[in-house]
Amino acid sequence: MSTAPTTDQRLLRVAVPNKGALSESATEMLRESGYRQRTDSKQLTLVDAENGVEFFYLRPRDIALYVGEGTLDVGVTGRDLLADSGAKAEEALQLGFGRSRFRFAGPAGRFSELGELAGARIATSYIGVVRAFLEERGIDATVVRLDGAVETSIQLGVADAIADVVETGSTLRRAGLEVFGETILDSEAVLITRSGEAPTGLEVFRRRIEGVLVARSYVMMDYDIPTDQVETAVELTPGIESPTVAPLHKEGWSAVRAMVPRDGAQRLMDELYGLGARGILLTDIHACRL
């Protein structure tokens, strides 16, 4: 009997950024997770009935509101946008892309600490985050709301400082600005759901995405090693549950297979080689369920 959901079962309604910095990576992650994704960037919605999901392509800034209201079940957005929205939604999974820092910046040399913002005009697209941050620290400043390109606002005389998303810092440098004060928040793309609710179908959806994230950050390692070195070697490659160890046809040798973090895998190969391992292979993992 087939267990695939039919169209009359309720579909999990998922919000995906339709444009901007998170859009492409979100679509790619969903495609790798085995979901159908739009091929035309003008498409607004897409039903993947076979996988029990319906996708809505929306502005990243609006996604937390839809999810918080319960109109949509799950969304992909930025932690900074979620915080700014004030919506009744919470993080269900960190997605590891769209990483940025939300920082104050001003003309080079003009500000050195947060206290100097008292009485200043601060331009930002994230007034919720900035007001809350200033209030918490008792700093009385005027927050000026702009839609984007806030780096230019100081030069145009509408603000003294800005608070904005910084990734490489090149936009700030180009505008002659530099960051000051502590980081307001560290952001990345996150999966969000309505606060306190786990919609039906979320677990499968989440597990598929987690599988892709793990597949991206781990590789499969295989090696042959003298059996008397196996205990030392598996301490270096413990795997997720435990590594597979099998006898080789050659007397006194064993084969070991374990998932290892992609970062540092080369160094690990050097160490294993030093222990006497040979035939050390690394292969990519395309998907997994742990």
Ligand X SMILES: Nc1ncnc2c1ncn2[C@@H]1O[C@H](COP(=O)(O)OP(=O)(O)OP(=O)(O)O)[C@@H](O)[C@H]1O
> Rg of the chain over CA atoms, in angstroms?
24
Q: Are 245 and 289 in contact (CB under 8 A)?
A: no
Q: Which of 148, 176, 264, 279 binds ligand X (CB under 6 A)?
A: 148
**Phi and psi, residue 230, nearest 5°:** -60, -45
Residue 20 or 96 having the CB closest to ligand PRP: 20
Residue 165 or 219 having the CB closest to ligand X: 165
Q: Is position 123 an interface residue for ligand PRP (rule: CB under 6 A)? A: no
Selected range binding ligand PRP among 57-65, 83-91, 164-172, 245-253, rule: CB under 6 A: 164-172
Q: Which of 11, 16, 81, 87 binds ligand X (CB under 6 A)?
A: 81
Q: How far is the CB of 77 from ligand PRP (least distance, A)?
A: 14
The interface partner of residue 149, options being ligand X, ligand PRP, none and the CB cut-off 5 to 8 Å by kind, is: ligand PRP
Q: Beta-carbon neighbour count of residue 91 at 10 Å?
A: 14
Q: Is position 186 an interface residue for ligand X (rule: CB under 6 A)? A: no
Angstrom distances, CA of residue 236 to CA of 241, 271, 275, 284: 14, 9, 11, 19
Q: Is 264 exposed, middle or buried (0-12, 13-18, 19+ CB in 10 A)?
A: exposed
Q: Is position 281 an interface residue for ligand PRP (rule: CB under 6 A)? A: no
Angstrom distances, CA of residue 34 to CA of 98, 145, 234: 21, 39, 33
Q: Is position 266 an interface residue for ligand PRP (rule: CB under 6 A)? A: no
Which residues within the stretch 14-43 sit at the binding site for ligand X (CB under 6 A)?
Answer: 19-22
Q: Beta-carbon neighbour count of residue 6 at 10 Å?
A: 9
Q: Is position 171 an interface residue for ligand PRP (rule: CB under 6 A)? A: yes
Tokens of 163: 């608070």
Selected range binding ligand PRP among 50-58, 165-173, 177-185, 271-279, rule: CB under 6 A: 165-173
- Nearest CA-CA partner of 103 in 133, 141, 82, 147: 133
- Nearest CA-CA partner of 122 in 84, 81, 151: 151
Residue 100 or 193 having the CB closest to ligand PRP: 100
Q: Are 56 and 115 in contact (CB under 8 A)?
A: no
Selected range binding ligand X among 74-82, 138-146, 178-186, 215-223, rule: CB under 6 A: 74-82
Residues that bind ligand PRP (CB under 6 A): 20-21, 148-149, 151, 164-171
Q: Which residues bind ligand X (CB under 6 A)?
A: 19-22, 60-61, 78, 80-81, 98, 100, 148, 165, 167, 187
